[in-house]
Amino acid sequence: MLSKNKIKYIHSLETKKARKEENAFIVEGFKSVDEFLPSFHCRLLVATPSYLSSHTQIRADEIIEVTTEELTRASLLKTPQEVLAIFEQPMDELDMDAPTRSLCLALDGVQDPGNMGTIIRVADWFGIEHLYCSQNTVDVYNPKTIQATMGALARVKVHYTDLASFVQSLPNIPVYGTFLNGDIIYQRELSPTGLIIMGNEGNGISPEIEQRITNRLYIPNYPIGRKTSESLNVAIATSIICAEFRRRFR
């Protein structure tokens, strides 16, 4: 049985303050939970009998079997999916050298949890293992972000840092950014290693970070010159850019 205190604790993790204090985050749904279980320390798993009967080797500090009604009271979703788990936030060290040996992504002030989660899925799909975020980028452990990753966060390391200082500290490697006055990406020489920086949904890349961009890219509309939307969603733009890099460097 799930106590009122446990439900209160689960709901508290909807706030960034509580997640930081508890060093924990919530994952819901059997597909996402199954992705996280092998890679993250599970403190609490709350699940229906049907889920538990098909997952007999779960490693968690505490497992509570609940009815669908109990799970609904604990869940942050409108339609709960058999299982809810609380995982410990990993303490990954900032990898300063990853952009020198692989293609990496960086987010400069991305605010929407859904965009953040989708970008992590894109990174996972294209084999990008490191994502660097400015301090004002949305919390990766926001429940909406976690849901949007669909478990991809289990394979992508997310680092929060002073992004301007981090980029400044990088050796002589390509640093890419998207701009309306950039060079058409399909006509530019690209590199299999380096850092791709994506900016805020409304304001783009901040002036401080812009100074550190070495390669300004532009995703053209079709046909060029036709009246069209003002810009692309940041997650969609990230998908297009990553696809072009991987098309050239498989």
Q: Kindly state whether residue 93 falls inside one of the protein's structural domains.
A: no
Question: Are 74 and 104 within one domain?
Answer: no
Question: Are 71 and 157 within one domain?
Answer: no
Please say whether the beta carbons of 34 and 151 come within 8 A.
yes
pLDDT (tens, 9 = 90+) of the chain, 250 residues, equals 799 999 999 999 999 999 999 999 999 999 999 999 999 999 999 999 999 999 999 999 999 999 999 999 999 998 888 999 999 999 888 888 999 999 999 999 999 999 999 999 999 999 999 999 999 999 999 999 999 999 999 999 999 999 999 999 998 899 999 998 999 999 999 999 999 999 999 999 999 999 999 999 999 988 877 888 877 999 999 999 999 999 998 7
Question: Are 240 and 123 within one domain?
Answer: yes
Question: Are 145 and 226 within one domain?
Answer: yes
Question: Are 48 and 113 within one domain?
Answer: no
Q: What pLDDT score was predicted for residue 231?
A: 79
Q: Kindly state whether residue 15 falls inside one of the protein's structural domains.
A: yes
The token pair that represents 99 in the structure block: 């952009």
Q: Kindly state whether residue 239 falls inside one of the protein's structural domains.
A: yes
Round to whole Å and give the CA distance between 174 and 182. 15
Question: Are 183 and 232 within one domain?
Answer: yes
Question: Are 133 and 71 within one domain?
Answer: no
**Contacts with 116 (C-beta within 8 Å, 6 or more apart), sequence order:** 107, 110, 137, 138, 140, 142, 145, 148
Residue ending a domain, choose from 35, 56, 88: 88
CATH number at residue 159: 3.40.1280.10
Give pTM, 2 decimals.
0.93
Strand stretches in 14-169, DSSP E: 24-28, 42-47, 62-65, 83-88, 103-108, 130-133, 157-160
Counting the structural domains of the chain, the total is 2
Round to whole Å and give the CA distance between 41 and 86. 9
Question: Are 83 and 163 within one domain?
Answer: no
Question: Are 158 and 222 within one domain?
Answer: yes
Round to whole Å and give the CA distance between 172 and 73. 53
Residue ending a domain, choose from 33, 61, 88: 88
**The dihedral formed by the CA atoms of 133, 139, 140 and 145, expressed in degrees to the nearest 10:** -130
For residue 67, the enclosing domain spans: 4-88
Q: What pLDDT score was predicted for residue 150?
A: 93
Can you count the helices (H) and strands (E) in the chain?
11, 10
H/E element holding 12? Answer: helix 4-12
Q: Kindly state whether residue 208 falls inside one of the protein's structural domains.
A: yes
Residue ending a domain, choose from 50, 67, 88: 88
Query: What is the separation of C-alpha 50 from the centre of its chain, rounded to a whole number of angstroms?
Result: 30
Question: Are 111 and 47 within one domain?
Answer: no
Question: Are 13 and 112 within one domain?
Answer: no
Please say whether the beta carbons of 235 and 119 come within 8 A.
yes
Round to whole Å and give the CA distance between 181 and 168. 23
Round to whole Å and give the CA distance between 153 and 90. 11
H/E element holding 198? Answer: strand 194-199
Q: What does the pLDDT look like over 134-184, one tens digit per residue?
A: 999 999 999 999 999 999 999 999 999 999 999 999 988 999 999 989 999
CATH number at residue 19: 3.30.1330.30
Question: Are 58 and 124 within one domain?
Answer: no
